[in-house]
Amino acid sequence: MLGSDERDARSSDEDVGKCGLSFGWDARGEEVLLMHRPNGDDKSAAEPYKGENRVVMMEWEKPYMEALVEALRLSPRDDVLEIGFGCGYSALAILDASPRSHCIIECDPVVLRRARRFAEFGEVSTVVEGTWQAVLGGTADVDADTDAAEAFRGGTGFSAVFYDDFPLPVAGADRSDLVGSRTRWCWFLRALQEGGHLRHGARVTGYLARPLEPLELEEIRRRGFVVASMQTTDVSPSPLCPYFRESQMYIPVFAYQGGRKPSDGSEVDHASLDQGTVDVDRPREKRSSLAEQRDSDPKRRRGEEGA
């Protein structure tokens, strides 16, 4: 656990967003994203956070995030939806794949500032403020002038989705107290399906630390999804990590069988997706000039202004 070292990772009060998040670094000098109001002491929270963990993301997750994105097999024909910007590891990997469009949903003001600065590096990214529950459910305003508006208002939908949320109090009833977090995947896939946000053959991946249970798989299939791929991968959690101690995580890919079939050839052959294990520590084959530009920007260095 971070213990007393957690104090070293905290930013000043003005850098803590309405969800209680701030960026910093731990005693090992690695980036962390922390939540500082986890137990409902923020009276504006719609639903108190039920858990004990205060750490939202740590730098050791970066290779895992990259492996998840790689499993989507993105191409320049893809329109990608990303849920939760976090530390930006998945967003950078998505942009490396040069998709046609990239829409990020993020609810915390501190993380939003980082996401919007990140989006300035490319012309394909759009940032939408709000929880995924509100945006996908149609109760959040999506700026009509943004490229994301059509996708959320009866457009062709997304062809790929990256999902890595955290049960923040601001998200309200959907839901920090659902049987641990064991049904969050079901809630999310249901929101995608009921909102008509996916085209036929869309691929969905995201953070998964445990096997899915039979009842979860049944609900997922009932919503029109099939498990196109389920891989395991070795990971190396930081010794300071309070939320994960195991040596393996899962890389799921769910394929949507509903929706309209794309006319641009962007549908992936799900039978060709890999099963088994992958190595998240292998070198990546390329990094785009966009990624290199981001890494060289001093404003994006770890710990500056908590962002």
Q: Cβ distance 198 to 157 under 8 Å?
A: yes
> If you average pLDDT over every residue of the chain, what do you get?
76
| Integer CA distances (angstroms), 140 to 6, 128, 240, in order | 34, 9, 37
The one-character DSSP state at 54 is -
Q: How far is CA 43 from the centre of its chain?
A: 26
Q: List the domain boundaries for the chain.
A: 3-58, 59-280
**Average pLDDT of 5-26?**
59
pLDDT tens sequence across 211-264: 999 999 999 999 999 999 999 999 999 999 999 999 999 999 999 998 766 555
Of the two residues 180 and 275, the one the predictor is more confident about is 275
Between 7 and 173, the more confident residue is 173
What tokens appear for 112 in the block?
């939003």
Distance CA 226, CA 254 (A): 6
Tokens representing 118?
């990140």
pLDDT digits (tens, 9 = 90+) for 133-179: 999 988 767 664 555 556 565 567 999 999 998 876 655 544 444 43
Among 10, 14, 20, 48, which residue's Cα sits nearest to residue 107? 20
- Residue 203 pLDDT > 70, yes or no? yes
**Edge-to-edge order in the sheet of strand 225-234:** 125-129, 101-106, 79-83, 158-163, 198-206, 248-256, 225-234, 276-278
CATH superfamily of 59-280: Vaccinia Virus protein VP39 (3.40.50.150)
Report the candidate in 223, 297, 291, 252 with the shortest Cα–Cα distance to residue 64: 252
Q: Give the predicted TM-score (pTM) of the model.
A: 0.77
- pLDDT > 70 in the chain, percent: 63
DSSP reduced 3-state for 304? helix
